[in-house]
Amino acid sequence: MTPAARISAAIEVLEDLISRRRPAADALKDWGLSRRFAGSKDRAAIASLVYDALRRKASSAYVMGSEAPRALVLGMLARLRGLGLEEIASLFSGEGHAPAPLEGEEVDRLVALSLTGAPDWVRADVPDWLWPAFAAAFGAEAVAEGEALSGRAPIDIRANRLKATRAALMVDFAHAAPEAGAWSPDALRFQPGHDGRGPSLQSEPAFFSGGFEIQDEGSQLVTLLAGAKPGQTVVDLCAGAGGKTLALAALMANQGRLFATDLDARRLGPLHERLARSGAANVEIRIPRSRGHEPLADIEAQADLVLVDAPCTGSGTWRRNPDAKWRVRPGALAERVKDQAEVLARAARLVKLGGRIAYITCSVLPDENDAAISAFLARQTGFAAVPLAEVLASEEGDFSLLARFATVHGVQFSPRRTGTDGFYLACVQRGA
């Protein structure tokens, strides 16, 4: 496919996902299945165009004066990819499979590219109904934080200490220009190319041998700061596919007991294969038999650490899932807050006297973060917030600079602050 034909395809996919309010991944998959002529490189390029258009959906619509998929793509090509008017016009030639030629108003708007008079939520590319909460989280920096969350995410990997070191992986991946992570001692980073894509790391020998896992550096960091130690009894209460479970096993050096569970048993499916590849030998997967069944009842009040990677809106991962921010609705936020309260109550029953709950979200919204901890402490007697200085005091490195991003109860990461996804961490301890 030509570059112009790929743009036409991206516009078509956007029309489908916007009109039917469906995930971008589903729309892209259906498009590919119905057009077998498109090769893997074509599909990847089209996906990159679609996701880039969604990153700047609100601001592109404002600049172009239209929310039509064509307008979103035009705005993205000019503002995110930096294409000039002549280059855009050559792609929108109307010839072959190219989109129709530019109209006069489109040319004028592409020349002006003006956000003058745009409300802050448009400039930040944040849904308008979420803007009050987003602004409450970041104050005067909210627009800049939104812009950062509308950018492209790098690819981060975590060196698996059970099988490899970051230094060794730096050598193995020298051909892909890796960067050492700024915060996590196990992180390597690969920047996306001009088309938004990074290297194909899951085809590397070190991946198949378990030497690394793909994991955002922020996810690595909050897991490290949770404070798991070798020999402890640790629970990953919302384990999902097991990214943090694997990181915990490595931090525990395969010593102690590590339980992984999730209310949605289907999400645990990939963890079995990942565990076998990683060399983690201290993990026990507990699968709930039914809704309401507690698969960890036998270790009630025994855990040194319960890690709660709580269900949330995922606002901190908008760089990776730009379509999600436009599909989330107020009712979903209320449901997530309810879910968070329930999972914290479960964690409270599992942690022992003197033990810790590490509450984590990939959200930047205060309702899901500090407010959730405040509500928990108000409901649950015998627990107190762990001072952030104590959370940041780690033998793994000097994390004192992260205190700049303190919240009422914990710490908030973001692409602009830490170069990571938008993770939140707060720890509470059960009084001895």
Report how far apart, in Å, the C-alpha atoms of 185 and of each of 208, 217, 378, 419 are: 22, 10, 36, 15
The end-to-end CA distance of the chain, in Å, is 66
Phi, psi of 357 (to 5 degrees): -105, 125
Among positive and negative, which fits the CA dihedral 394, 398, 402, 408? positive
Residue 51 CB burial class (10 angstroms; 0-12, 13-18, ≥19): buried
Question: In Å, how far are 17, 42, 77, 327, 387 from 315, measured between CA atoms?
Answer: 19, 29, 24, 11, 25
- Answering whether pTM is above 0.85, one says yes
CB-based contact 248:234 (threshold 8 Å): yes
3-class DSSP assignment, residue 6: helix
State pLDDT tens for residues 54-89. Answer: 999 999 999 999 999 999 999 999 999 999 999 999
Q: Which residues are annotated as a binding site for S-adenosyl-L-methionine?
A: 262, 309
**Contact indicator for 388, 320 with CB cutoff of 8 Å:** no
Q: Is the distance from CB of 216 to CB of 154 less than 8 angstroms?
A: no
Residue reference for tokens 């809106």: 313
Per CATH, 155-214 and 217-430 having the same topology is answered no
CA distance 247 to 309: 13
Task: Delimit the domains of the chain by residue range.
Answer: 3-115, 119-150, 155-214, 217-430
Q: How far is CA 31 from CA 15, 48, 95, 195, 293, in A?
A: 11, 14, 22, 20, 40
Give the span between the Cα atoms of 379 and 362, in whole angstroms.
Answer: 23
State the pLDDT at residue 34. 87
pLDDT of residue 225: 98
Question: For residues 9 and 23, is the Cβ–Cβ distance under 8 A?
Answer: no
**Cα–Cα–Cα angle for 256, 183, 321, rounded to 5 degrees:** 90
Residue 402 DSSP one-character state: G
Q: What's the pLDDT score for residue 432?
A: 64
Residue 165, both tokens: 């070191």
SS3 383: strand
Q: Cα separation of 428 and 227, whole Å?
A: 12
The structure tokens listed for 411 are: 């710490």
Mean pLDDT by 10 residues, the chain (432 residues): 95 93 92 85 92 96 97 96 95 94 96 95 96 96 97 96 96 93 96 78 92 97 97 96 96 97 90 94 91 89 97 95 91 92 96 98 97 97 96 93 97 98 98 78
> What does the pLDDT read at residue 249?
97
Q: With the C-alpha atoms ordered 17, 21, 25, 30, is the resulting torsion angle positive or negative?
A: negative
Cα angle, residue 52 at apex, residues 48 and 54 outer, rounded to 5°: 120
- Give me the residue label for tokens 């994991």: 215
CB-CB contact of 313 with 336 (8 Å): yes
Closest CA to 428 of 367, 378, 387: 387
Query: Rg of the chain over CA atoms, in angstroms?
Result: 23
The residues that are catalytic are 362
Return the CATH number of 155-214, one of 3.30.70.1170, 3.40.47.10, 3.90.25.10, 3.40.50.170: 3.30.70.1170
Of the candidates 256, 260, 257, 258, the one whose C-alpha atom is nearest the C-alpha of residue 230 is 256
**pLDDT tens digits, 308-351:** 999 999 999 999 999 999 998 888 889 999 999 999 999 999 99
Task: Note the CATH architecture for domain 217-430.
Answer: 3-Layer(aba) Sandwich (3.40)
* Chain centre to alpha carbon of residue 204: 23
Strands 383-385 and 424-430: antiparallel
Classify the C-alpha dihedral 53-59-64-66 as positive or negative: positive
